[in-house]
Structure 1
Amino acid sequence: MKRITLVILVLSLWSMETNAQMQKGFWMLEGSAGLERSRMTNLADDEKFDPTTGYSFHPKVGYFVANNYALGVSGLFGNSWFRNKDYDQNLPNEFKKSNEFTYGGGLFLRKYMPINEDLSFFAEAGSEIFWVKPRVVYNEPTGVESGLSRRTLSAQAVLGLQYLISPKLGVHMQTNLIHYEKTKFLQEGNSSQSEFKAGFMIQPRFGITLFL
């Protein structure tokens, strides 16, 4: 009888701890990563350019201001690169490669919608500002040049699915449903452009969340 009581007590405490990590007063630490590979096509002659490859990393820190509601700050770090596959090192001024380093941060508000003790949907609204610093490499005598720097303000609505491996550790997959960006080019008269995307599987990411 004592063993049965002890088992019930342990299971009860486990359940309480499992349900507690998304309650008011708790913290969350999160890191997610994304990969990108895209290719431009010239519609006039259907010519396909060499692909651009990149990665990004999104750290987040949030505080549960109410049960299932987390408010926090995010960071953004990433890099993408483009290489000329037909590069000839013997040609002067020949384009070799370019890369773009991205960094910034923002704010987010997330709502969890538990399905059971281990599985939850979450919806998130966030906004970030980030800077992009390009670097272009040519053969001599041109050498290394800085490309057109830009600053981007973004806003997005996110849908995600989280699974708890343990009461304090979860893994998740998320995707943007709505994504808006306004970019200002910091040279050449500070020109700007806007972009709006809506759909599913826009910038999908996988990540890990730690609850404290």
Structure 2
Amino acid sequence: MKKLVLSLAAVAAFGFTANAQEKEKPTFGFQEGNIMIEGSFQISDKVIKDSNSGLKDKTTHYTFNPKVGYFLSDKVAVGASLGFGKGLLESDVLPVDVTGTKLYAGAFARYYFLELGSRFKTYAEVGVGYQENKVSDAKYKETGLAAGIDLGFNYFVTEKLAVTFALGNVFSYSNYDAKQNGNKIESVSSTEANLNVFNNFFDNATFGLVYKF
């Protein structure tokens, strides 16, 4: 009888431990009602030098893109996105340096369609919004609509924190008016499809962080 009681106690203890371990097992990904905050930052510095004259152009550019999204389900999220950018051209040819700025405000919808293991979540995203590009020194300004379809994936480092790899625009569309000194000089519409986005992944990829709560 004593052995039977001890055996039952051992089985119960094993079952409790297994159940506790199962509950403590980390889960990666998103659920309905989650809110995510995502941000990416890029900076580039490029120098072009003429081998004959020795004259050079130096371009410095950075962008910051924060997003906030709400999950309607474990696969679909909608939200708002912003974009800020600034560029500086320092040229031995031009009399002054040229500064440009870029602003973006819009909305997006994201769909997670493939899981590569428990930590990798692949998504497609559609975004549309208002965009403004300005070259202050030349008093030149572009304002209008920008839209695009992106591909990317998240890699979950922890249950709450993930790294984002955005592959770049698979499809993009823009429609804007260009003004010089406050006067409209042209209207431009452009459409671009980048079907080789996977061939030049490291050239176009944007890296960022996602936090969910």
State the alpha-carbon separation in 1 of the partners of residues 185 and 24 from structure 2: 58
1:14 is aligned to 2:25: yes
1:32 is aligned to 2:27: no
Deviations along 1:11-65, one digit per CA (max 9) or x if unpaired, are 43334xx24x51111101000123456799xxxxxxx983533121110000001
Partner amino acid, structure 1, of 2:82: G
Contact conserved, 1:34 with 1:203, CA < 8 A, in 2? Answer: no
Indicate the SS of the match to 2:157.
strand
Partner amino acid, structure 1, of 2:188: Q
Aligned residue runs from structure 1 range 148-167, under 5 A: 148-167=140-159
1:105 is aligned to 2:105: yes
Contact conserved, 1:150 with 1:185, CA < 8 A, in 2? Answer: yes
Indicate the SS of the match to 1:77.
strand
Contact conserved, 2:56 with 2:92, CA < 8 A, in 1? Answer: no
Aligned to 1:183: 176
1:3–1:32 CA distance, 2 compared to 1 (3 A)? farther
The higher-RCO structure (CA 8 Å, 6+ apart) is 1
Unaligned runs of 5+ in 2: 1-9, 49-54
Partner amino acid, structure 1, of 2:155: Y
Indicate the SS of the match to 1:10.
helix
Aligned residue runs from structure 1 range 1-212, under 5 A: 2=13, 5-6=16-17, 8-15=19-26, 18-19=27-28, 21-35=29-43, 50=57, 52-86=59-93, 95-112=95-112, 113-136=114-137, 146-174=138-166, 175-186=168-179, 187-189=182-184, 191-199=186-194, 200=197, 201=201, 203-212=204-213
Deviation at 1:4, TM superposition (A): 7.4
Deviations along 1:76-99, one digit per CA (max 9) or x if unpaired, are 10101111134xxxxxxx622111
Say which one has the larger Rg. Answer: 2
1:165–1:158 CA distance, 2 compared to 1 (3 A)? same
Q: TM-score, normalised by structure 2?
A: 0.76
State the alpha-carbon separation in 1 of the partners of residues 152 and 15 from structure 2: 38
State the alpha-carbon separation in 2 of the partners of residues 118 and 182 from structure 1: 38
How high is the sequence identity, in percent, across the aligned residues? 25
Deviation at 1:3, TM superposition (A): 7.0
Partner amino acid, structure 2, of 1:155: A
Indicate the SS of the match to 1:12.
helix
Contact conserved, 1:176 with 1:204, CA < 8 A, in 2? Answer: no
Unaligned runs of 5+ in 1: 41-47, 87-93, 137-145
